Amino acid sequence: MRKLYIVKTTRDFENIIKNGTCKKNHFYVIHSKANNLPYDRYGISVSKKLGNAVFRNTYKRKIRSIIDNYKKLYINNKDYIIILRKEAIEQPFEILEKEFFALMNK
């Protein structure tokens, strides 16, 4: 995922979470908000409560991989904040991928 497609600033995160729509399932919470850009942007959040930095970065890489695999299926000029839930920790990659895809299609 290129840097162009990443939501980085705290102000953007707060704005998307406060003013956007929210979709939830057992493994993810996804906040989305329309943007004025010709592409989608993604922000990924994994809580410190779930594990140390190595653990969190591993799950961020998994989520980025899932986004890259399915990015072309849901291009709609929005900003997304993806928050990983505790229940997702014990699940294999295939289930995380399937649940993410199902939640994005809602």
pLDDT at position 90 is: 86
Sign of CA dihedral 89, 92, 96, 102: negative
What's the average model confidence in pLDDT over 64-88?
Answer: 89
pLDDT value at 3 more than 80:
no
Instruction: Find, among 90, 98, 85, 3, the residue nearest to 41 by Cα.
Output: 3
pTM tops 0.85:
yes
Q: What is the DSSP letter of 7?
A: -
Q: Which residues pair with 81 in a beta bridge?
A: 31, 43
Number of structural domains the chain divides into: 1
CA 104, distance to chain mean position in Å, is: 10
Q: Which domain CATH number covers 76?
A: 3.30.230.10
Tokens 């998307």 belong to 16
Residue 22 DSSP SS3:
strand
pLDDT band (50, 70, 90) for residue 106: confident
pLDDT at position 85 is: 94
pLDDT at position 32 is: 94
Q: Which domain holds residue 89?
A: 3-104
Whole-number Å distance between alpha carbons of 65 and 70:
9
pLDDT band (50, 70, 90) for residue 64: very high
User: 23 with 30: CB under 8 angstroms?
Assistant: yes
pLDDT one-digit tens code per residue, 10-63: 999 999 999 999 999 999 999 999 999 888 999 999 999 999 999 999 999 999
> Six-digit token pair at 43?
């922000």
